[in-house]
Chains A and B, each alone.
Chain A
């Protein structure tokens, strides 16, 4: 428990509210030592409580294991501190400048030529508005124009890979596990095309789909449609896994939580529901907005969720507690949201895009950056590029790619997604992804519970309540709100009794005299009473 508490405070201090935390607890060495803070990140929670274990052998084994885990955490922390090859981007204002006033032109002028090439504008007036998606390593971009225009490009090289016109309404596009295939939500069905633009599959089970999402760990393609049905299809086996009726009408908002692969849907009645393919009912249903929900976005660690509604608000939620954190007003109702790997929040409303930094953990007063696409065109879709400081905007007049310093994760993991992967690496990676494919049964709200001990429901609830109470107490104590516990003995704190107690402690001359008198009286009484003590106790009541 103790360790956990420490960890909680640590997590706080690593967040953006760090400055406050540091000034408060300068004495705390751990917050000052960056290695220790980093180490906490890799420790993955507190180990088992060894104190109560009586089995010596088990205790020894656990001690050794814990030591190993500790060492691994230290090594990982040191690696992060010293060995990672790249550093993240940043944008800082000097003097009276404000970062939100920097235009793309000024930023592009300041950065190197390869980065400058990443900011571009594609004028595609006739076939928009456009939706778009990056593949998992951010090398390729697929765009889909409302009027049937589909294209994949190697956007860094400005190279068009394939382009086709499907002569049908296109509502959404999504890459599958790699750039070789992408799914398109068309007028009637979902279609899968390959890199050459050849139609590979027509998924007739998905009827008039509105929005698509791909669950990369489970190889599942999720779609929502006009009737408000959520469908899951396994793209590795082709099996139609499940279709769930939301009973909440047309649903065009769908987003996966990358932390646990639970899918969130936004509905017209203002609720956000979260689904796993294993349950016919939503795991969570929360009322988020007055009026329809327009967009949802999750942060990569699965801690916060941002939602926007027709009511013009952008709300930030704690998805672990399902409670609101704070909200922002969008200039007009936000149409789409996205959260970058480093936690920047992009909000589009009308033809403008606002980008907020640290907006998830604490309420910010002004945006980090702002951008406006060409006049008269509405922003349709937003996508942060993974491992790059780039935001792609799909709008009525085409697509624009803008530079957002500090958006992407600077250091990639070659075994997760490698922007520079070779053909062979891609093939090998595909095989490994398929071998590591997770079963849909593993989609649960808390992914840490896989492989953990299953507790009874009541026990679970008890520990949850305890944890919640402790956490709340800790927060209250920190904020100075903690109410002192009431004393249980009644009546001792009455004002009259307090006065009497106080008086009884004052020694006066008179009191001393009285006390002496009393003592003498008692002595005299005792002497008189002494002979009567000879009588047996049982006969005392007959004494006169």
Chain B
């Protein structure tokens, strides 16, 4: 007779001393884990609900400006640094970690329209309605607050003939471009622009350099155009006319042939710069003009600020926003920025405040324990797995909106549906093939000029 029964000694399965960690034994046999699907679903549902509970994206407001914040710039060399210019011409340098002002600059006589930091992070340019572009010095790393110091003077002032609307610094060289009545490219050591581009007589309202192809930059103009320029040539490259004006342009830093424009018709349009015939994606959701947008350094998403008093975050290929931020006191948003670590979003608005938001509303900030990280990763993957189930989808997608925004959204949807229905009926009563279907991505394009 051979016999053995299960016999465990307690010492083997319990800790020796109180200071030790409890021993954990796993047996992954599916027999011991019945109804795992149901459990996983329940956990996914709970994780989705908890995400809603923890979704507190608003971190704080940077107040100090005496007029609406009109433009912002981030320092490519420093994470915690933000420049902001306001409609009264003042420029402030903020320390984001402590949320206070480091320096104040007298700025311009009229509104500050554009700010850009040089790639070395030592100085920045500003442009404004007073027809000047000014070059300023940034304080070196580690220098304490200079808020109460004597007013700082610009290193250089460049005089133009017309008001400037935007400025952007080259990604690597000491060259910047300004937009206004025409596009000027400046060398900070010279008082006159090194080159000037113009195409048509309308104002150019935004300009951005391509992060990968260093000589190319894009502009948008009030003639409803989006134009591409090359520094090496004396003439512009291509131009695209849309039905409505694009207010701002931003390049995707990871796929630098793609850019997105924020349009006056409440949508954003992504384009491939090699093909202007069709937009790659339309990002819908805003109910008023999109004033500014900025890409996350990951290139996976971008943030938009709109005249409808909301800030939205879109996936680079997402038709609708992933996140909508609003507060009771936030007014028209004029400028937005994604922080250089892709964790925060900043918005400057008409109510003189700059607001600091989390890019992921429910994200736990700070240093995480490995256990916490694991838990977050687990719930993240569960949510991903069960995201299509109706209850989870409903909870995940729901966003509370201010009543005017919600109603305006409804109205826009109704108008869109009606238009569509009308077109469908028209098509049904026309000769077959006489009314061609046009893709929505093509519809807004008026002309493409070379």
Contacts and interface: CB of A to CB of B under 8 A. Distances in A.
A473 interface: no
Interface residues of B, number: 38
Given A300-B31, A409-B32, A412-B25, A217 B4 contact: no
Interface stretch (B37-45, B133-141, B439-447): B37-45
A437 B42 contact: yes
B133 to A, nearest CB: 46
A33 B42 CA distance: 36
Contacts of B1: 91-94, 97, 102, 106, 110
Nearest to B50: A435
Interface in B5-45: 5-10, 12-14, 22-35, 37-43
A436 B26 contact: no
Interface string A107-131: 1001110110010000000000000
B25 A438 contact: no
A-side interface mostly? loop
A447 B34 contact: yes
Contacts of B30: 41-42, 44
B386 interface: yes
B24 A447 contact: no
Interface in A514-537: none
Nearest to A217: B35
B25 to A, nearest CB: 5
Interface stretch (A13-21, A81-89, A371-379): A81-89
A42 B28 CA distance: 8
Given A79-B26, A413-B26, A260 B2 contact: no
B389 interface: yes
A442 interface: yes
A414 B3 contact: no
B374 to A, nearest CB: 13
Interface string B153-190: 00000000000000000000000000000000000000
Q: Which of B3, B28, B41, B389 has the most CB of A within 10 A?
A: B3
A114 B38 contact: no
B51 to A, nearest CB: 15
B327 interface: no
Interface in A402-431: 403, 405, 408-416, 418-420, 422, 425
A244 B407 CA distance: 47
Contact of A217 (B13, B39, B40, B386): B39
B28 A89 contact: no
Contacts of A491: none
Contacts of B13: 419-420
Contact of B33 (A90, A92, A416, A450): A416
A445 to B, nearest CB: 12
Given A110-B3, A217-B35, A450-B38, A413 B14 contact: no
A84 B31 CA distance: 15
B63 interface: no
Contacts of A356: none
A437 to B, nearest CB: 7
A387 interface: yes
A450 B4 contact: no
Interface string A302-343: 100000000000000000000000000000000000000100
A508 interface: no
Contacts of A403: 5
Contacts of A88: 6
A418 B421 CA distance: 63
A240 interface: no
A301 interface: yes
Given A41-B30, A300-B31, A435 B6 contact: no
B46 interface: yes
A86 B6 contact: yes
A438 B39 contact: yes
B6 A408 contact: yes
Contacts of A261: 35
A447 B35 contact: yes
A413 B6 contact: no
Contacts of A86: 6, 8
Given A79-B26, A420-B13, A451-B41, A405 B35 contact: no
A133 interface: no
B25 A302 contact: no
Contacts of A102: 1, 3
A28 interface: no
A385 B13 CA distance: 18
Interface string A432-459: 0001111100100001101100000000
B25 A414 contact: yes
Contacts of A112: 7
Contacts of A76: 28
A111 B3 CA distance: 7
A91 B3 contact: yes
A389 interface: yes
A118 B46 CA distance: 42
B6 A387 contact: yes
A387 B27 CA distance: 12
Nearest to B385: A451
Given A92-B1, A217-B39, A114 B31 contact: no
A80 interface: yes
Contacts of A92: 1-3
Contact of A89 (B6, B10, B32, B41): B6
A388 interface: yes
A258 interface: yes
Q: Which has the most chain A C-beta neighbours within 10 Å: B1, B30, B39?
A: B1
Contact of A301 (B14, B31, B39, B41): B31
A411 B2 contact: no
Contacts of A91: 1-4
Contacts of B5: 89, 111, 115, 118, 389, 403, 405
Contacts of A416: 27, 32-33
A198 B103 CA distance: 70
Contacts of B22: 414, 422, 425
Nearest to A112: B7
Contacts of B14: 420, 422
B3 A405 contact: yes
A410 B6 contact: yes
Contacts of A79: 26, 28
Interface in B29-77: 29-35, 37-43, 46
A80 to B, nearest CB: 7
A20 B305 CA distance: 72
Contacts of A418: 25
Given A115-B7, A447-B35, A90 B41 contact: no
B34 A302 contact: yes
Given A89-B4, A90-B3, A411 B25 contact: yes
Contacts of B37: 447-448, 450-451
A85 B34 contact: no
B41 A450 contact: yes
Contacts of A44: 30
Contacts of A85: 12, 25
Nearest to B44: A451
A420 B2 contact: no
B126 to A, nearest CB: 44
A-B pairs, top 4 by smallest CB distance, nearest first, are A389-B5, A89-B5, A92-B2, A411-B27
Given A80-B27, A436-B43, A451-B386, 8 more contacts: A80-B29, A89-B4, A217-B39, A259-B35, A300-B31, A411-B27, A415-B24, A450-B37
20 contacts: A42-B28, A42-B30, A90-B4, A91-B3, A94-B1, A102-B1, A112-B7, A260-B34, A260-B35, A418-B25, A419-B13, A436-B39, A442-B35, A442-B41, A447-B34, A447-B35, A451-B37, A451-B40, A451-B385, A451-B386
Interface of A: 41-42, 44, 76, 79-80, 84-94, 97, 102, 106-107, 110-112, 114-115, 118, 217, 258-261, 300-302, 341, 387-389, 403, 405, 408-416, 418-420, 422, 425, 435-439, 442, 447-448, 450-451
